[in-house]
Amino acid sequence: MTNSFDDIPFFDDDGSPDEPAPRKAPAPAAAPASGGGLGIAARAMAARDQNRTVVDYLSGLNPEQREAVETLDGPVLVLAGAGTGKTRVLTTRIAHILATGRAYPSQILAVTFTNKAAREMKERVGVLVGGAVEGMPWMGTFHSVGVKLLRRHAELAGLRSDFTILDTDDVVRLIKQLIQAEGLDDKRWPAKQFAGMIDGWKNKGLTPPDIAEGDARAFANGRGRELYAAYQARLRTLNACDFGDLLLHPIAIFRKNPDLLKEYHAKFRYILVDEYQDTNTAQYMWLRLLAQRPKDIPQNVCCVGDDDQSIYGWRGAEVDNILRFEKDFLGAKVIKLERNYRSTEHILGAAGHLIAHNEGRLGKTLFTDRVDPDDEKVQVHAAWDSEEEARAVGEEIERLQRGGSDGRKHALNDMAILVRASFQMREFEDRFVTLGLNYRVIGGPRFYERLEIRDAMAYFRLVCQPSDDLAFERIVNTPKRGLGDTTVRYLHDYARARDIPMLAAASDIIETDELKPKARKALFDVIQSFRNWQQKLETTSHMELAEQILEESGYTDMWKADKSAEGPGRLDNLKELVRSMEAFESMRGFLEHVSLVMDADKNENLDAVSIMTLHSAKGLEFDTVFLPGWEEGLFPHQRALDEGGRSGLEEERRLAYVGLTRAKHRCHIWFVSNRRIHGLWQSTMPSRFLDELPAAHVDVAASDSNYGGYGGRGGYGQSRFDKADPFSNTYSTPGWKRAQANKTDATRDNWGTRSGHAVERIGYGESGPRGRTIEGELVARSTSETPSQFSVGDRVFHIKFGNGNIASIEGNKLTIEFDRAGQKRVLDGFVERV
């Protein structure tokens, strides 16, 4: 550990933006490149002190990385391919800035997208510079930095600095109210959809007057713009912000207050941006305001990213931002990191060849020095259907676990299954449950999004922030207090009419006889409780108070009385919530944290296979990666193709690239010939991406099953992965029999553990993966075709289910009573008369 960083001056940054004047000259000869007009003795001493450090943190960097770290003056774009040491460059660069005394910790603005990335950066900088990282208040996500700016200058945006941050759920409920208030049908105009539109506009940096006429008219009978404006007005009265505002308000503030912006120009001596290819327009505008400076202030901005890993276009990310960097920041130095430290030559070769099919790239080719004849090529496997796919993947995992071809036993933690869409996960989960194989799903319900956590948080919010009407409405009748819709609506209208918060309105109303005695009493009790808690805010510790609130409100009792299976888990979660407050000084501090940071921790002690989407795999790496579902329509996804056209396809291809480059040593790709889509079995074609892989680095694995192969549908889209074996009988194979046998006991267990077999869920969404599938072109096509050539009672053969009789016909969909498989619904194209 180095000591040299202990001397870095530390300035508390919570005051005004005024900083001690930055040091005019860089500190003595720290970086080999930068001299300085200092005395020889001073230089020598500094060099002596610094050398140790320099060696410590610069050694081990390759020349490009080192250049990216040491080029401190002027704009720098680091194009960092997958596994090229991007984070290392970023963190070392920060360390270097500090070590050379170019800036105080508080003068470095370092932004990331996710909290996870921010946390990781903090940790790693911490390792390099020790405690100095504590003085880096401007290291965080775009949003957390946005909050910080906005809390300081809230009044310039018409807010108080104690504004609340609403999450998606709150936003939707609020919009729903607005839609109803406008007298619109909230079914015809779903609040969720409008929330999505607003989000999209905000991603583009558009305020109500800015949105295109067409967009403005597309919702709410042409009143989209008014609705958006009404929403913003409502946020202001609520003293609240949504996520988009955390960027848009600062942008507006900077534009309106050039002097203030100038202070920040002077303040942030160095700006660093991670994952630049993921920035959306609003973030881009925000960044440009801060980073593009008048000539007299240096533009020390460093963006790190990889255009080949831009997979969030659908969410507003503009790859263009990274492609345009050199134009935005004239004189920018572009440094490419192409030396890969993660993967084998085969994996890199496969990934590189694939991604080369994209146009409009900045163009990087990853390479590695490691050449090991034992490294296996990327394996492509065919399976008959998704069940078979899951079975085979499970077998391969068990094989590796027992000891792979190299005889080494592999940990489940080193393996991951990366799917295109979350519905694919289910098949693997089912299979692993029957095998008793531990797995963890990344992307399950997030802690903070759970019902009970949101309820509890609403109580805390309302205590801290009595004008939080959304919180009020959420919990006023939770647990049930006999304050139903009628009462709440009345309170709402009363509050709106007088422009006061609902809690205050409630206080007024209980003084009157407007409510029925029962409701009045109930409301009175609620208000008394809140008054009580608010007083205790100053006197009681926040954890103690939190417990009291949950007890006295009857909220914990509500779950104790709940006899469903979920009750105990929810109580545990509530305990966990209170426990997690320990790390914070106050309830307010805690609320701030939760509104922005929402991760669940994964249990590192558990050895388990990870199952996640390709999107959530970005930034991770695994020894062995399984990539199932490489079929046309699923991957590339039909919808991406329909909606995104050429660029949609390219984004899908980047997703494939991300998937491949997650693998360190082994990568297994799968495709199936039949997949169940909306309950119907459909024949599928191998993904075009398979054809884009280079033969030199890929093995088409002799399928471990006899019946892997593509039952093609005519001459269209022939691929070298097509196999002329579409009609092999599957019923006699052991795999089929086992799959059938397993069907009965492979029940699904969303939450967890069954018979000594651990399952973990980490991530988003209240209810796990939804059963989504592709709206296949094939379905659409055959639907509009001529009526079925079959009639009820016909004896038919189906490739998967065997013989059966047609029970009923709906267009091209047949319901067939199969002899062995029972009743199934299938498309008529897949059966033939016998």
Binding site for DNA (CB under 7 A): 113-116, 141-144, 167-168, 187, 199, 243-244, 246, 314-315, 420-423, 443, 477, 480, 482, 484-485, 596, 598-599, 612-613, 615-616, 637, 639-640, 643-644, 648, 652, 678-679, 748, 763-764, 767-775, 825
For 153, residues 6+ apart whose C-beta sits below 8 A from its C-beta are 250, 253, 257, 260
383 assigned to a ligand binding site: no
579 as an active site residue: the answer is no
- Alpha carbon distance 605, 601 (integer Å): 11
Kindly tell me which of 249 and 697 has the beta carbon lying closer to DNA.
249
Kindly tell me which of 313 and 349 has the beta carbon lying closer to DNA.
313
Kindly tell me which of 275 and 345 has the beta carbon lying closer to DNA.
275
275 as an active site residue: the answer is yes
The structure tokens listed for 293 are 């400076």
84 assigned to a ligand binding site: yes
Kindly tell me which of 57 and 555 has the beta carbon lying closer to DNA.
555
Q: Are 415 and 407 in contact (CB under 8 A)?
A: no
What is the identity of the amino acid at 575? K
68 assigned to a ligand binding site: no
Minimum separation from the CB atom of position 18 to DNA (A): 27
Catalytic site residue from 50, 309, 624, 773 = 309
Catalytic site residue from 64, 70, 242, 275 = 275
Catalytic site residue from 13, 50, 86, 245 = 86
Catalytic site residue from 23, 73, 87, 813 = 87
* DSSP class of 381: E
436 assigned to a ligand binding site: no
Minimum separation from the CB atom of position 564 to DNA (A): 8
DSSP 781-817: HHHTSSPPS--TT-EEEETTTEEEEEEEEETTEEEEE
Distances (CA, A) of 369 to 54, 386, 630: 26, 37, 29
Cα angle 306, 309, 314; round to 5: 120
Kindly tell me which of 53 and 638 has the beta carbon lying closer to DNA.
638
Minimum separation from the CB atom of position 477 to DNA (A): 5
309 as an active site residue: the answer is yes
DSSP 672-737: EEEEEETTEEEE--B-HHHHTS-GGGEEEPPPSSTT-S----SSTT--TT--S-TT---TTSHHHH
87 as an active site residue: the answer is yes
Among 255, 311, 314, 263, residue whose Cα is nearest residue 288: 255
**Across 139-239, where does the E strand assignment appear?**
139-141, 164-165
For 569, residues 6+ apart whose C-beta sits below 8 A from its C-beta are 751
- The β-bridge relationship of strands 76-80 and 301-305 is parallel
Catalytic site residue from 274, 318, 414, 469 = 274
Minimum separation from the CB atom of position 615 to DNA (A): 4
Minimum separation from the CB atom of position 296 to DNA (A): 33
- Helices in 421-450 by DSSP H: which ranges? 425-435
Residues across the chain: 834
Q: Are 591 and 438 in contact (CB under 8 A)?
A: no
Kindly tell me which of 295 and 748 has the beta carbon lying closer to DNA.
748
Minimum separation from the CB atom of position 422 to DNA (A): 3
- Alpha carbon distance 358, 656 (integer Å): 12
Place of tokens 């460093």: 302
Kindly tell me which of 206 and 698 has the beta carbon lying closer to DNA.
206
135 assigned to a ligand binding site: no
Main-chain dihedrals φ then ψ at residue 46, nearest 5 degrees: -60, -45
83 assigned to a ligand binding site: yes
Kindly tell me which of 46 and 303 has the beta carbon lying closer to DNA.
303
- Alpha carbon distance 263, 149 (integer Å): 12
274 as an active site residue: the answer is yes
81 assigned to a ligand binding site: yes
Q: Are 686 and 671 in contact (CB under 8 A)?
A: yes
Minimum separation from the CB atom of position 774 to DNA (A): 6
Catalytic site residue from 204, 267, 454, 662 = 662
Minimum separation from the CB atom of position 329 to DNA (A): 25
82 assigned to a ligand binding site: yes
SS3 251: helix
Q: Which residues belong to the annotated binding site?
A: 80-87
Looking at the annotation, which residues are catalytic? 86-87, 274-275, 309, 662
Q: Which residues belong to the annotated binding site for ATP?
A: 80-87
